[in-house]
Chains A and B, each alone.
Chain A
Amino acid sequence: MRAGALSYRPSASPLHAARATAGACWALSLTVAVVLIDHPLILAAIGAAGLLAAFAAGVGRQVARTLRLALAIGIPIVLINVLVSRQGLTVFARLGDLGPFGQGDLTLEALVYGTVIALKVSIVILICALASLAVDPDELLGACRRISFRSALTASLTLRMVPLLAADSQRLAEAQQTRPDAQETGSLRRRALLLAASVGGALDRSLDVAATLELRGFAGATRVRRRRAPLSRHDLAFAASAGCMLAIAIAACFGAAARFDAYPMLRMSVSTATVGLCVAILAATLAPFISRRGIDPVRGR
């Protein structure tokens, strides 16, 4: 994946138009729901809701691409859980005596539970990708500056400088390719030299940035006071959606409709209430995307 492929860009969508804190709370509520709920059907509903929300926010393709990463992480999780877990009663393969690891019995329960964990990780990755593409990090860090000005500013600087230094390194590597001795020096030694040059360049840049910060009054910085801006319809919609999602997650966690036990035997409730929960999750997640009023097609605000 290219550097900067998952960085925020203004776009004309309700999620982009909402203030960063509302967008972040909405994404956080989805993540909390994923953590609290184990039921595969409801998790699938959250995943589908997240993906549909990404398309509604105009970043569906980029988010869908992150599913490759999720797959790369998910498959080992399933495999490891099947091999390591000694719980579950439904054995589908016997590997025999594995010495200090005991009997190598592979169970269906371990396979399903591993899949559920992988699903959870995949959905969290999807939601994080959506948030990083559609929630303005500067605005979010601006809100954090009210708590700790310097820490938030340092985080902002990192966000700004990492892609810049990556571009510097790419430029350096390109220049090295044009040197006549590019093939002569051993690749390991050349990489080490290149790394040293990149670090040297980064230090040069950091000096200039430090001088700029000094002149902009960073040394005497004080805590930023809060600006009371009126809530837009999109702020309200995403805040309400986040509240609904948390309520659904808590209800699902303690209610019978989302009951799921992997061990010792698979038990999963599938009822009208379960389907209702899935529909409620989809509705709560996607409702803020219905209204697109008041969004500038260019500025995304």
Chain B
Amino acid sequence: MSAILSFEQVSYRYPGAAANALHRVCLEVQEGDFCLLAGLSGDGKSTLLRAACGLVPHFHGGSFSGRVSVCGHDTREHGPAQVGAHVAVLFQDPETQLVMSSVRAELAMPLESRGQGPDEVARGVEEVALAIGVDQLLDRRTAELSGGEKQRVALAAALAGRPRLVLLDEPTSQLDPVAGEELIGLLRRLNQEWETTILLAEHRLERCLHVADRVIAMRQGGIAHDGDPRSFLTWASASAEHLQTPAARLLELACVDAPPPTGVRQARKSLRERGLLPGEPQTPAAGLAASPELVASAGAAALPGLAPERRRALARLAGLGRTSLPEPALRMRGVWHELPDGPSILRGADLSVMPGESIALMGRNGAGKSTLLRHAAGLLKPTRGRVQSSGRVALLLQNPGDYFLRERVELEASAGALARARLSDLGERHPRDLSGGERQRLALAIVTDTSQPPAVLALDEPTRGMDRGAKAALAQELRLRAQEGIAVIVATHDPEFAAACASRAVLLADGRVIADAPCAELLSGGWYFATETARVLGGHGGALLPSEGAAAIASLLAGARAA
């Protein structure tokens, strides 16, 4: 087997950095492999991909040692332009990867710049457009494409020269789940039908683990694990909990003695084989070893499988009808947002949020989530309807970098706010040098930095590009804010994050609220708006997170044993 990409003892340090971004990396990728690059933010995934295409060190500078060979080219001798003829690269932000105004010109540009003749260019554009499924977009303006379309066009442009290796750096992080799934499906097709080698860095592993042949886990610039998806999940279970997928975590917590599942289907199969799939005949089989504590806790649960917080939320919602209602922190009544020369974005949206309540605002792209939050914060005025709040509405928009104006972190917010955001030690740093999670915490500190806490805290897609550890920390922070009496509203596409931080979910479609229910109800029974745990368990008991799912399984087991 020939290695299409090889790293030999590669170490690299960015200019001015204190530590190596890559540390003695040794790696070989074979032709036709579908490799997944896993790791937390700052562990060196992006740097490894940049080294694989020659941008490190030619474009970024810094100190480099070792050898990277791509399709037989040593990157020390061949720059990105030469390596780029054999390698396609796709980064996170589709906006910066489209350089022309029309899709056809975008696809033609790499071929023209490599000196191909007009007929070859015309053929190349046609071929790649059909292969990637962007032929319907050829005459569209790049500025008018959706995020998913932009990313597909950028991939098509990168593939126009028929490279053998495709490097992707979190290409789905800026996309909604549907567009993300489409892109992963496309990569799988490229790999299966053309034997294109894929090296994909991704945070949401559950989305792509089932299509990968191999997972390379990085930690602090080095390779921590390299193996097939199941061996990776076994390793993650012992060494990197934040890299585990929800399904694998569920089976681990439920102490199901089965190989870690790489997807929902495998997880359900393992549970079914052991008679543990809710809704099916239970025949506890060999290999099942639920801990007595787990069984006991599940048996004690009034609502089987539900976490205490969620039970409290349900109980509170149930109790609201019986007692006198407190004043809502935010009340929106029949809010319309009608564009002067266009359609209505909101069509009579109604929403009430009580103090201390946290809700997840969900819906597909264009459903009106961001517009609703802007109305809540007073950035927009409704063309019809009313918005009332009991105090200030703090709004955190999608890109935390947009909040940073000053040169040092300590100048952006008060010492108290920085201490709460656990950023006191980073006061001297430039805000743009912070990691994704730190940026989000700083932006949150900025918008909530007032003597009086805000009545409502609204966040628009706060988890884009975040790793699972940072998401868990943010969810914890939002739960704390809710406990302090702040009403929290989070617009998100991520059902796992919604389940972790909210007690109630509101589903928007076409500018209207089409569902408003406790998370346990709304995120457990749907096709699309459902967590992986809920999909594994078929929505049983309203379990959304692996810990709740494990408790549900344990209660099932306890019931079966009692019977």
Asked if A91 is at the interface (CB within 8 A of a chain B CB), the reply is no
Check if A225 is an interface residue, CB within 8 A of chain B.
Answer: yes
The one of A7, A208, A216, A226 in contact with B157, judged by C-beta atoms closer than 8 angstroms, is A216
State which residues 134-160 of A face B: CB under 8 Å: 136-139, 142, 145, 149, 153, 156-157, 159-160
Interface residues of B in 105-121 (CB under 8 A from A): 105, 108-110, 112-115, 117-119, 121
A175 at interface, CB cutoff 8 A:
yes
- A10-B141, A217-B110, A222-B115 known; A172 vs B402 contact (CB < 8 Å): yes
Complex CA distance for A8 and B97, rounded to whole angstroms: 21
Chain B residues numbered 78-125 whose CB sits less than 8 Å from any CB in chain A? 79-85, 87, 89, 91, 93, 95-102, 104-105, 108-110, 112-115, 117-119, 121-122
Q: Are B122 and A212 in contact (CB under 8 A)?
A: no
Known contacts A221-B113, A299-B139: does B100 contact A215 (CB below 8 Å)?
no
Which residues of the partner chain B approach A4 to less than 8 Å between Cβ atoms? 143
**CB-CB under 8 A for A137 and B450, given A215-B80, A226-B118, A299-B139:** no
Does A255 sit at the interface, judged by CB under 8 A?
Answer: no
Chain B residues with a Cβ closer than 8 Å to the other chain, count? 65
Is B55 in the interface zone, CB < 8 Å from A?
Answer: yes
Using a CB-CB cutoff of 8 Å, which residues 177-217 of chain A contact chain B? 177-181, 190, 193-194, 196-197, 200-201, 204-205, 208-217
Does A174 interact with chain B (Cβ within 8 Å)? yes
Min CB–CB distance B103 → chain A (angstroms): 10
CB distance from A225 to the nearest CB of B (A): 6
The CA-CA distance from A139 to B101 in the complex, in Å, is 10
Q: Are A164 and B143 neighbours in the complex by a CB distance under 8 Å?
A: yes
B446–A211 touching, CB < 8 Å: no
Contact at A200–B432, with CB atoms within 8 Å? Answer: yes
Among B84, B119, B121, B432, point to the contact of A216 (Cβ < 8 A).
B84
Known: A178-B394, A180-B394, A194-B405. A211 touches B115 (CB 8 A): no
Partner of B96 from the list A178, A212, A299 (CB cut-off 8 Å) is: A212
Of the residues A174, A176, A212, contact of B97 by C-beta under 8 Å: A212
A267 located at the interface, meaning its Cβ lies under 8 Å from any Cβ of chain B in the complex: no
A214 and B397 contact, CB distance less than 8 A: no
Q: Which residue of the partner chain, among B85, B91, B394, B432, contacts A217 with CB atoms under 8 Å?
A: B85
Docked Cα-Cα span, A136 to B101, in Å, equals: 9
Contacts of A290 in B (CB 8 A): none
Q: Which of B458-491 contact A (CB under 8 A)?
A: none
Q: B15 to nearest A CB, angstroms?
A: 13
For B523, list chain A residues within 8 Å (CB).
Answer: none
By the criterion CB–CB under 8 Å, are A214 and B81 in contact?
A: yes
Asked if A227 is at the interface (CB within 8 A of a chain B CB), the reply is yes
> Looking across the interface, which residue of chain A has its beta carbon closest to that of B50?
A211
B14 at the interface (CB under 8 A from A): no
Does B525 make an interface contact (CB < 8 A)? no
Q: Identify the closest chain B residue to A4 (Cβ).
A: B143
Verify if B158 is at the interface (C-beta below 8 Å from A): yes
* A interface with B by C-beta (< 8 Å): 4, 7-10, 136-139, 142, 145, 149, 153, 156-157, 159-160, 163-164, 171-172, 174-181, 190, 193-194, 196-197, 200-201, 204-205, 208-222, 224-228, 299-301
Could you write out 18 A-B pairs with CB less than 8 Å apart? A8-B141, A138-B101, A156-B99, A160-B142, A171-B402, A174-B397, A174-B402, A180-B448, A196-B405, A197-B402, A208-B91, A214-B79, A215-B87, A215-B89, A219-B80, A221-B113, A227-B119, A300-B139
